[in-house]
Amino acid sequence: MWTDRLANRLSKFWRDRRQHRHGNAENHSEAIMVNGDRKLENHARSKDLTEERVTAFLNDNPEFLERYVMEELEIEQLERWIIRRTQRDKKRAGSAGRKTSLSRWKFCVHADKRQMLQDLTQSLQQRPSVVNVLSELASCISSAVSADGYRLYLPDNDDDNHLCLYLGYESNDCQRLGKALLPCLVAKTKEPMRLSKGDPNFPAKGSGDVAHLLLEPILQPDGQLVAVLEMWRLSSGPGPFHEEDEEIATSYIVWGGIALHYAKLYMSMSKQRKLSDFLLAVVKSIFQDMVSMDTLVTKIMNFAQRLVDADRASLFLLDSKNKELYARIFDVGGNESEVDSDSGNKSQPDKEIRFSVGKGIAGQVARTGEVLNIADAYSDPRFNRTVDQLTGYHTKTILCMPIFIRGVVIGVMQMVNKHNGPFNKEDEEAFETFAVYCGLALHHAKLYDKIRRSEQKYRVALEVLGYHNSCTETEVEKTKMALTNEKLGPLDDFHFNVFQLDDDSKVRQAVLMFRDLFGLARFDRDSLIRFILTVKKNYRRVPYHNWSHGFSVANSMYAIIKHSNGTFSSNECLALYVAALCHDLDHRGKNNKFMLETESPLAAVYSTSTMEHHHFNQTVTILQQHGHNIFSQLTNSEYKQVLGCVKHCILATDLARFFPYKSRLQQIVQNNTFSWGNPEHRSLIQAIAMTASDLSASAKPWELQARTAEVIFQEFYEQGDAERAAGITPIAMMDRNQPDQQAASQVGFLTGICVPCYGLLTELIPETKPLLDTCESNLERWK
């Protein structure tokens, strides 16, 4: 019990006092005092210690009471006593008079702070805004200092140098004060002020029965003014305000500042969440349905109206070439131009209007790139009243915002007449964020419009090219007539001389080879003729990679298929033959390395196997033309299988792919694990067969091989010339200034690529050995 501790402390107190006095005693009277102290100590130790004696002792020794309270009592116990004392004083009649004790405000704060925080918390839950928290805080402070009334003044949103009288959360209006009034002086000095009647600064008018004033500034931790609280007492009240009343108010403001801080955080987060939700809806609506620029502009204007609660909206785009602002959709809002925010439809689009940059408010914003927030349009000399005079509309307030992309103004958004007073800083901040998304949307809309126009141009160009790059019906009929008497030559001979056929004969022989391999039961004859004629037309007139080369490769593949004795399936043979015929479509006489080094558009589209991807896409383009699809009678699964195999075979003609294919297949053969039933193994042998056909000129008799080498080097030298013109040093094989390197380059080519290719093919398809033998014979001649 604390009473036992008190008795012990009393005993110790008297003992210490006795020792102190005994050490200094020099006369009889002091000895008598010591004896008296000993008696008092005995009384303190006795069980007869009464409340009266303790009370009398504590009254006579306040320093002992203070020391005891400071050292022995728990804070919780002391707070309980203070609360009980405060509550008792409140209930006691006649206690309305001023307490003169300096600790009065401490008792009050400790007693009422829990209730105050509960009230503030409840206020936050019901009306979570800074203004409402300030209102609750003002009410608590007014009650704590026994004020008869109070007023709360808030900084003007539009002018920090003015205050507005807060009229309650039910009212949206405010009364602006003059700078000379007391609340404005307190706001300026940020110091409390106490006044009574008779003070020269006490307001002479409008005070009525008010006799005493206390004004308190409410500040944020950073010193920014949040509000000014004015409290008063009537002449019939408890009297003037004193210093402890200021201390009470300050204490409440400190505690209430916590709630105020979190209210601001809550409001800030709430605004950001609402703005984020709004912007998300804007982005979804704008970017999901980017139909046209007019639709987008209408949507942006409609969303902007909702964001700042404006009556009308206008969006002007900048014509940088003519230094003009223009708009086709103008003044969305009111009853004249109702807009569906989802569809963006507008009842009647206005005619386009134009005016120069720098003219009017919108022109000024476009010129300077700065926001303009005008509270009174008619008092601004930049405002053009002509529009109002013509339309009968009265413009009051304007918020005009520039729209940027990459730091450059691309447009101006203008909001007119906010429904609830002038536009404020919050509107500016929200609108500024919204303007960023507007800029992105407008930029993407312009890009989308360009892409759409480019797509239309591409379709037109494709249609024109398709017409000029397709065979005519006259050519089809002429070929059909010639085929009636045409016979298939000895094209299954690996040494067949393709130079003995002209281009038209090659077309007919290609048709006959196709018919010999696959028949015409599943293929339309006219489509086949049309397809091969168009393939011929899409080979460019370059020295080597021309129609003659395409036919030669198809002829070699035909011979391999004929000698393979059913090694490949029917669909594989179809894919191999078509791929061989089309493998160099639209070849420009330049290799992939040249395309990459010169940054050709093709290299941008296809980063690997550039030309081979282009050859395949040209093949597909021809197949898609009317009357050219030779695969039309295949089933869906067969069509996908054949087209996939065609792509694989055409891409396999890239020598960069040959080396990994060869290494993989060679390893399988050496390990004796090759199986024709393994799809991967079949895919590898298809790739090797394509390379063997593509390089078949090296396996022709010497006369044909030498003639082919001549045109190959002609094409190489043309590429070397183009490289030199582009600032690239050509390799020796492509440098026409080094003709003595031809033999060496051919030896290296045959040794490193051709002989290994034909050797591997011979191991799996022995019937192709003539290709290997002739290639080795040519190698010896080149050496």
Binding residues for Zn(2+): 549, 583-584, 694
Question: Closest Cα to residue 227, out of 175, 157, 155, 279?
Answer: 155
Coil vs helix vs strand at 427: helix
Instruction: Tell me the CA distances in angstroms from 703 to 100, 489, 692, 774, 777, one per residue in order.
Output: 128, 20, 19, 12, 12
The Cα 128–Cα 263 span in angstroms is 6
Residue numbers annotated as active site: 545
Rounded distance between C-alpha atoms, residue 418 and residue 395, angstroms = 10
Do 216 and 249 contact (CB within 8 A), yes or no?
yes
Which residue, 349, 353, 315, 310, is CA-closest to 333?
310
CA nearest 586: which of 459, 469, 725, 720? 469
- Return the residue matching tokens 């809550």: 266
* H helix or E strand, kind and range, residue 712: helix 702-725
607: tokens are 């980063």
d(CA 440, CA 443): 5
What distance in Å separates the CA atoms of residue 228 and residue 165, rounded to the nearest whole number? 10
The set of residues, in sequence order, having a beta carbon less than 8 Å from that of 663 and lying 6+ positions away, is: none
Contact 477, 503 (CB under 8 A): no
- d(C-alpha 649, C-alpha 688), whole Å: 9
d(CA 271, CA 280): 14
Cα-based distances in Å from 245 to 74, 570, 610 = 28, 104, 86
339: its two tokens:
């807009």
Task: Please report, for residues 544, 655, 761, the alpha-carbon distance to residue 594 in angstroms, rounded to integers and kept in the order given.
Answer: 17, 15, 30
Annotated binding residues, written as ranges, equal 545-549, 583-584, 694, 746
713 backbone dihedrals φ, ψ, rounded to 5° = -70, -30
CA distances, 196 to each of 151, 199, 212, 316 (Å): 17, 6, 4, 59
Contacts of 13 (CB under 8 A, 6+ apart): 61, 64
Query: In angstroms, what CA-CA distances link 505 with 483, 491, 523, 747?
Result: 10, 13, 21, 33
Distance CA 549, CA 287 (A): 50
Closest CA to 627 of 510, 543, 719, 532: 532
Q: Which residues are annotated as a binding site for AMP?
A: 545-549, 584, 694, 746
Contact 214, 245 (CB under 8 A): yes
